[in-house]
Amino acid sequence: MPALKEKAITLLGSFTVLSLQAASGVETLFTVPVGKVARVTTVVIRDISATLAGGTSFAFTGFVSGVNLSAITAATTTKYAIIAPAFAAECTELASSAAFQITKTTGSTGAATAVFDVFGYLTN
């Protein structure tokens, strides 16, 4: 029987990003299993440790770019943000073994961590 990740939009993976500052570079949030293709539908950012002020440009592999998270101005474990492409936007599926990554182009000015939940589905 196929796994739920192949039949429904579900949590593909969660990853704690240890630094959201620009100088911290690129981090992998999810790696596509061998023999599968992934289609990411949304990303949830939660459990934010500090302000993301200054974080005006984050990008996600084949998904969205120019994401501005600077409105999150305080640590929070009860609030979250949903990152999704614009309505009818074209995204790129991720091939087998591909990494879904966050690039912190203009990251937060201060040190902050957060958990990123990647939602979508897998197919052959």
- Res 6: pLDDT: 74
Which percentage of the chain shows pLDDT scores above 90?
Answer: 74
Beta bridge partners of 2: none
- The C-alpha atoms of residue 93 and residue 85 are separated, in whole angstroms, by 13
Structure tokens at 12: 């593909």
At 76, the pLDDT band (50, 70, 90 cuts) reads: confident
Domains of the chain, CATH where assigned: 4-123 (2.60.120)
Task: Note the pLDDT tens digit of each residue in 81-108.
Answer: 999 998 878 999 999 999 999 999 998 9
Residue 25 one-letter amino acid: G
Picking from 89, 87, 73, 83, the residue whose alpha carbon sits closest to that of residue 29 is 83
pTM (2 d.p.): 0.90
